[in-house]
Structure 1
């Protein structure tokens, strides 16, 4: 995770945001009061993180994803006709 003071982030916002997007990285933007620190990431990375949390928090869905990963690793994928 990159760390940058708020003033530096603000002064170079366009470059910082492009870097975060292009590198799929996150940045901790710090302030004098640590309670005011923020984390910045691309929307795609945020949505991916939220979907991962959704899958992880649903035990049935999580089991199904793990079973599918095992099948794929064993070369036992099943093909389905598109609806």
Structure 2
């Protein structure tokens, strides 16, 4: 993760925003005066994805269904079918 000071971020905000959105990178924004006063900049798309992953992983019922599905795939207890088209 790249680190950049608050003042450098402020001067180059547009390019840093483009970087985190185009490259799916995160950026650590630091404060020279207070090392504990830091933040992470990431794209909204990556943030939404991370939150959704945390939501899924914190749901025991859903995680159990995912585990059972993986076990069925490993055991060969699945079958392939054509996708159902809407309005069919």
Range of TM-score over shorter length: 0.7 to 0.9
TM-score by length of 2: 0.76
Structure 2, unmatched stretches of 5+, are none
Secondary structure at the aligned position of 1:64 is classed as: helix
> 1:19 — aligned with what?
19
Which aligned segments of 4 or more residues in structure 1 are displaced greater than 6 angstroms? none
Q: Report the aligned-residue RMSD.
A: 2.5
Partner of 2:53: 52
Give the TM-score normalised by the residue count of structure 1.
Answer: 0.80
> Which of 70, 76, 79 is the equivalent residue of 2:78?
76
CA drift at 1:9: 0.8
Unaligned runs of 5+ in 1: none
